[in-house]
Amino acid sequence: MTRSITFVVSVNDETIFDNNLMVSPCLAAGGLHQLIVQRGFRSAPTAYNDAISRSDNDLIVFAHQDVVFPASWIHDLDRSLELLDEIDPLWGVIGCYGETLNDNGRGYVYSPGRGILGKEFQYPSLVQTLDEAVLIIRKSSGLRFDRDLPDFHFYGADICMAAAERGMKSYAICALCVHNSQQNLVLPPAFYRSYSHFRNRWRKFLPVQTTCTRVTSLNAHVFIRRLKEPYLKYLRRKTIGSRRVENGRLALAEAERLKKGRVTGNPQGEGTSCA
């Protein structure tokens, strides 16, 4: 069953947006789907909550401007939603990659310089938090992003915690997409401001594992990271781990080539291919 979807993207770089999300084959046909492009908002939560209020559809996909969706992505999403209808119809948040608390990541994403993260699997996999590159909710769930969260960090983990507080679960699904991102080894002050806000808000849930750090009451992981950053910046002069490619079509072609060459499996060692 093909469902009507609202895609939402917050844009601060028109070139990245045009060369990535807007070249996604699954968006080329248009048709049933709505695209809301948000510009000029002070934070991701304010941009996304505004889009929720304007969405024509119940199913909403929030994506980074540097994500590329293959032609098969909506089919893969539909299949995962059908499985969730069977195992957990009251799911809260789903996405393409997430983290468990103590058992590593789940999902299926390609990123230049890092290759394919995860591998094919069948059933949606329970996670504690999801990466912000792709987040999916239902408007009817009542979930909203924390409007007090500053900047553009931790909002994915935050909405997963908001779902957990309401007794709703978060899942990573098998729907390969490209996150044509730049891996920054030295993080901006905004990241740490958002970290502090998130940690204070969800203190009762700690520890929380996100795709970028572990959030704990003692702050050990972030303390160690902040100690390493001056070494990377001033001594090694290495602040970037991997860079995005100029054209998302090239990243997508590489992702699909790697996918064809992989052996089908499951992150938890069971199930069948999502292909």
| 75-89, 186-200, 222-236, 242-256, range with the lowest pLDDT | 222-236
Say if residues 110 and 217 touch (Cβ distance below 8 Å): no
Average pLDDT, the chain: 92
Answer whether residue 270 shows pLDDT above 70. Answer: no
Query: Would you say domain 5-261 falls under CATH 3.90.550.10?
Result: yes
The structural domains of the chain, with segments of one domain joined by +, span 5-261
Nearest Cα neighbor of 38 from 26, 46, 28, 30 is 46
- Asked if residues 172 and 124 have their Cβ atoms less than 8 Å apart, the reply is yes
pLDDT above 70: residue 275: no
Contact, 228 vs 220, CB < 8 A?
A: no
**Residue 195, pLDDT above cutoff 60:** yes
Query: What local confidence, expressed as pLDDT, does residue 1 receive?
Result: 62
- 183: pLDDT confidence band, cut at 50, 70 and 90? confident
Is residue 176 within 8 Å of residue 67, measured between CB atoms? no
Amino acid 235: pLDDT: 85
Residue 29's pLDDT is what?
64
| Per-residue model confidence (pLDDT) at position 264 | 42
- Name the residue type at position 26: C
State the pLDDT at residue 268.
39
Q: What is the pLDDT at residue 18?
A: 98
- Give residue-wise pLDDT tens across range 47-76: 999 999 999 999 999 999 999 999 999 999
CB neighbour list of residue 4: distance below 8 Å, 6 or more residues apart: 32, 33, 34, 56, 57, 59
| 116 pLDDT higher than 70 | yes
* Region 185-209 average pLDDT: 95
